[in-house]
Structure 1
Amino acid sequence: MAGVVLVHGLYHRPEHFALVVEGLQAAGVDVVVPELHRGSLRVDTAAVQAVVDELAEPPLVLGHSYGGSVITGLRGARHLVYLAAFVPDLQESAASLGGSSPGLQAAVVREPDGSTRLHSGRATDVLYADCPQHLAAWAVALLRTQTSGCGRGVPEHHRWKHTPSTYVVCAQDRAIDPDLQRMMAARCDTVCEWQTGHSSFIGRPELIVDLVQDLLYASNTSGRAVGGIPTIR
């Protein structure tokens, strides 16, 4: 079975995917979670591309939130999964598509050096409101500062136009408007909708584990439709 690359969003770390990684590894799936926060969308994309290029087989690549902008520019993926993520087209960035919700904008704290961080209490409400309290506290403690400008980056390539893709709409999301997600989801081949908040990798990691396994199985089975994924179109 091909491997999986998980790409986190702004303010997050690879460790935020720990529960998903644990579930996939238990199922025998090899997983890599690159570190972003390298200063720009171009450099973040290059870092993930280097990981993809090192793998023996084309991987399934999942991007969350800003991670969608990153995976849009990748070559060599067998399937792209956008989890409450941005799907930019020509000359579009996450910011120009609508960016963050008013609630997420209110959680942003600007530092003197131009970087930003998230206010812990507001981040809990916007990102992890539907997650178990102890996991939400753990996730907030992991959040890190972010260099400004990444959300305004425009991908150099738009691989969702040539690579099989799936969009997961998180219908209870308080960070990215679900209606904006549905608009972007129309650009992908397959769409499913979950009644979760922005961070299902914390609150419902089993949903991601099951989806990834279904997609990997489907991509290895000629002519077989992706099973267990309720589409909304």
Structure 2
Amino acid sequence: MVTTPTALLVHGAFADAGSWSGVIEELQNHGIPVVAPPNPLRGLASDAAYIASQAAQIDGPVVLVGHSYGGAVISVAGIAENVVGLVYVAAYIPEQGESLGELQGRFPLSPLVGSLKEKTYPVDGGESAVEVTIDPEAFPAIFAADVPASLTKVLAVAQRPLAASTFTETASAAAWKDKPSWALVAGADEAINPEVERFGAKRAGATVVEIEGASHAVAVSRPKDVAELIREAVRATG
């Protein structure tokens, strides 16, 4: 019988599962099973359903870890029966019935909002929908100010777009109400106002760690610190 929870890592917008590489290495070095599936980034309900299905197919308990928009995804997907804990990394932590726009609208907007570029993509029925990325010129300062410049240039052109509808879609659940949670606040985050992260973490009753000077890409720049918080959640729920 599997007793050590598997850490299921959910990336956020403008990134992919490769953003967890350093964290994955740290967790593997400590013998923690880990998976990092792609987050479709097409809509909160559909993304959460996909991640919940991934969790449900894992043998044994699961700790969901969400970065950025991935925090909203795990808040909904976390109602899956075998999910035993939630870890938020520089993330949104919405209440049931709340949208990301409503949550971040409680506080001054981050520089991210004025640096988004819109494009369209096809959806069923021959219609089109809007997706957003960060202006590549603004990406380093907004997303990854503490990551080497040579790497941010790569990350800026490898962004995965986020469906714009995710900012207005409301969360159908708030798994943190019933399951223990941990949260890492990136103190120098320019993508999500750190006050949004602090507010959500406090409301969820999460165990909070704050890293002063950390950018939104804290999983890239500070993988050991992120992995340690995940390890704490795994130890507490295993």
Q: Given the two structures, how large is their TM-score scaled by the length of structure 1?
A: 0.88
Query: Which residue number in structure 2 is paired with residue 86 of structure 1?
Result: 92
Determine if the alignment matches structure 1 residue 206 to structure 2 residue 224. yes
> C-alpha deviations, 1:137-189, integer Å up to 9, x for none?
33223212232201222221111000001111111111111122211111233
Structure 2 unaligned residues grouped into runs of 5+: 122-129
Determine if the alignment matches structure 1 residue 45 to structure 2 residue 48. yes
Give the conservation status (yes or no) of the 8 Å contact 2:5–2:62.
yes
Query: Which residue number in structure 1 is paired with residue 211 of structure 2?
Result: 194
Query: Which residue number in structure 2 is paired with residue 229 of structure 1?
Result: none
Q: Distance in 2 between matches of 1:205 and 1:150?
A: 27
| Letter in structure 2 aligned against 1:173 | D
SS at match of 2:225: helix
| Letter in structure 1 aligned against 2:145 | A
| Letter in structure 2 aligned against 1:175 | A
Q: Distance in 2 between matches of 1:137 and 1:192?
A: 29
Tell me which of the two structures has the higher relative contact order, counting C-alpha pairs closer than 8 angstroms and 6 or more residues apart.
2
SS at match of 1:209: helix
Q: Distance in 1 between matches of 2:32 and 2:136?
A: 33
CA RMSD of aligned residues (A): 1.8
Query: Which residue number in structure 1 is paired with residue 119 of structure 2?
Result: 111
Q: CA deviation at 1:110?
A: 1.2
SS at match of 2:162: coil
Give the conservation status (yes or no) of the 8 Å contact 1:61–1:71.
yes
Matches within 5 A, 1:1-233: 1-73=4-76, 74=78, 75=80, 76-98=82-104, 101-113=109-121, 114-186=130-202, 187-195=204-212, 196-220=214-238
Give 1 or 2: higher strand fraction.
2
Q: CA deviation at 1:11?
A: 1.9
| Letter in structure 2 aligned against 1:189 | A
Identity in percent: 27
Structure 1 unaligned residues grouped into runs of 5+: 221-233
Give the conservation status (yes or no) of the 8 Å contact 1:101–1:175.
no
Give the conservation status (yes or no) of the 8 Å contact 1:80–1:165.
yes
Runs of 4+ in 1 over 6 A off after TM superposition: none
| Letter in structure 2 aligned against 1:36 | N
Give the conservation status (yes or no) of the 8 Å contact 1:83–1:168.
yes
Change (3 A) 1:215 1:120: same
